[in-house]
Amino acid sequence: MRFSTLPKFVTFVLTLFFAVALVAPLPFAIITPGHAINVFDGLIKESKSSGSKIEFNKADGKLLLLTILVTNPDSYISGGQVIYSWLHADNVVLPKSAIYTPGLSSKAEEVKSNKEMVDSQLNAKLAALTYLAKTFPDRGFNTIKSSDISISLKDTGGPSAGTAFALALVELLTKENYLHGANVAVTGTINSKGEVGAIGGVNEKLISAKKAGAKLLIIPRANCVDLDTNPGDIRIAAVSTLTQALAALDSKDPKGCDSVGA
């Protein structure tokens, strides 16, 4: 059987088409697992302007906040990069509109993200101090103001570290030893009432938690539907409040996500 070859001109056009497709900019963003940062590594301190004398206790264990890396709105994303990311299971490709507000520049997104981080730190302080004052009414926690505590985290934005900050504050301000020497990863937004909310990139953060050697990952219960697979050799605790997150630290069998058998 004989096969006819394509005319040289058609071959050239097809080659040119695929070459352009590989390098042409596409309206996508690429998400990859980021870093795991121990909150106890100097992120929380007494504010220099504090009017109170705060005693921070030494933490027994690690409390890891999790990050993801996302290309910015102005990034040039080629077809080749998209294909490469699709072929690597750790990466996720999404339309930019699913992550960023249409029309906002990279600078505007950075300002927005930084504000979300500042707000999450304030909410974490309010949630933790409210919990402590209610749980230990005779220890003077009601005299500590949010402005007495400083939280500093460079080069990271967004609201998803809020729950980690709140848990860290409770651990540092008490002698209860909630962690018991464990290596725990945490992600989730938090409001001033101590309610834990959903975050983005939960599967990528699961990968970061595993790479950091965490034995327990605390996530918002609202994110259970987003988990792709059974987490395997790391326990999942799905929570909706700060109180539930603290209980998970002290549980040998925390309530996980039934949707993936975790």
Domains in the chain, ordered, with CATH?
Answer: 31-73+104-260 (3.30.230.10)
Question: Which residue, 206, 188, 262, is CA-closest to 89?
Answer: 206
Residue 172, classified by CB atoms within 10 Å of its CB into exposed (0-12), middle (13-18) or buried (19+), is: buried
State the Cα–Cα distance between residues 249 and 103, nearest whole angstrom: 42
Considering the entire predicted model, what is its pTM?
0.84
Question: Which residue, 198, 203, 178, 174, is CA-closest to 188?
Answer: 198
| 46 neighbors 173 (Cβ within 8 angstroms) | no
Whether the pLDDT of residue 39 is over 70: the answer is yes
State the Cα–Cα distance between residues 239 and 87, nearest whole angstrom: 33
Burial string for 186-199 (b: 16+ CB within 10 Å, else e) reads: bbbbbbeebbbbbb
Residue 167, classified by CB atoms within 10 Å of its CB into exposed (0-12), middle (13-18) or buried (19+), is: buried
Lowest mean pLDDT among 20-24, 35-39, 99-103, 165-169: 20-24
Question: Which residue, 28, 40, 27, 36, is CA-closest to 204?
Answer: 36
Structure tokens at 63: 């409390």
SS3 category, 231: coil
| 89 neighbors 187 (Cβ within 8 angstroms) | no
State pLDDT tens for residues 127-180: 999 999 999 999 999 999 999 999 999 889 999 999 999 999 999 999 999 999
Question: Which residue, 79, 89, 109, 114, is CA-closest to 97?
Answer: 109
Structure tokens at 181: 């020497």
Strand spans (E) along 51-151: 62-70, 92-95, 149-151
Lowest mean pLDDT among 50-59, 133-142, 162-171, 184-193: 50-59
Q: Which band of pLDDT confidence, cut at 50, 70 and 90, is reported for residue 73?
A: confident
